Amino acid sequence: MQPANKINSFEAIVHRLKKTLPDSIETYHTNQTSTYPLIKIVLGKGNPQRVLISAGIHGDEPGSVESLLSFLQDEHYLPYINKWEITLLPCINPHGYEFGTRENHQGKDLNRLFKVDEPPIEVFFAQSILSIPFELTIELHEDNESTGYYLYQKGIDAKDDELGIEILDAIKNIMPINLDDEIDGSSANHGVIGKNIDISSMDWWPMALYGFSKGVERCLTLETASQFDMATRVNAHLTAIKTALNYFSNKR
């Protein structure tokens, strides 16, 4: 089941990244001819606070990739670069991104495959990065059915649950918040989905819960709403990223 046409260019993404940050890009090449180089960027190497920001695990969510590129190109990282080591995965599912599919070239939903014995190469790549603990992970998504912004959060310290509320508070003037009691099958509270679940009992893990199993203090999965224009979606995600980084900067 191969989609007919490319709707986005991964090469254009690589080109934009190289223009912005020529020295900090690492690519991971696979032996599989059907996959693309997987890209990792590290800014502020060796700094004491560590965050992982990722996008494009679902290929049909271009607003996530665009937000991460804007974070780099418009230098939104600058206020954080003295304290934070910022690791970025700008496009985890390049094939899906090019062809506009949620799944990868094998038809696999990568964000369901973080608890399997032999994960797809894209998942293995993300897992290898999570082998060193992060204080914070931020995963960028978008939802084409949602009426507004919402997020998932999971963390070690319950006190940090206030961060989810703080993020949505910062966004509400940019994009409406999805206030449904149930979003995508999960119960939600004013746009926050906090999975109060013992992850060891789950059959599958998304990337966020894999990170949590590896000791990430706070895992955020952010969902912007595709029905708004790209600039609004990007603005909402950038505001969320900055709110989270400010929160943890002030905590230390």
Task: Compute the least distance from the CB of residue 143 to Zn ion, in Å.
Answer: 7
Structure tokens that stand for 218 in this block: 């706070």
Please tell me whether residue 218 binds Zn ion under the rule CB under 5 A. Answer: no
Rounded Cα distance between 2 and 25, Å, is: 30
- Choose between 141 and 218: whose C-beta lies nearer to Zn ion: 141
- Choose between 70 and 146: whose C-beta lies nearer to Zn ion: 146
Q: How many amino acids of this chain bind Zn ion (CB under 5 A)?
A: 2
Which run of H or E residues covers position 65? helix 62-73
What is the per-residue binding string for Zn ion in 141-160, x denoting contact by CB under 5 A? x-------------------
What is the per-residue binding string for Zn ion in 180-199, x denoting contact by CB under 5 A? --------------------
Q: Please tell me what DSSP assigns to residue 177.
A: B
Asked whether 212 and 139 are in contact (CB, 8 A), the reply is no
Identity of residue 56: G
27 — phi, psi (to 5°)? -115, 145
Site for Zn ion in 46-65 (CB under 5 A): 58
Helix (H, G, I), strand (E, B) or coil at 85: strand
Asked whether 37 and 29 are in contact (CB, 8 A), the reply is yes
- Choose between 108 and 141: whose C-beta lies nearer to Zn ion: 141
What is the per-residue binding string for Zn ion in 12-51, x denoting contact by CB under 5 A? ----------------------------------------
Task: Compute the least distance from the CB of residue 162 to Zn ion, in Å.
Answer: 25
| Residue 205: partners with Cβ closer than 8 Å, 6 or more residues away | 114, 115, 199, 213
- Choose between 109 and 169: whose C-beta lies nearer to Zn ion: 109
| Residues near Zn ion (CB under 5 A) | 58, 141
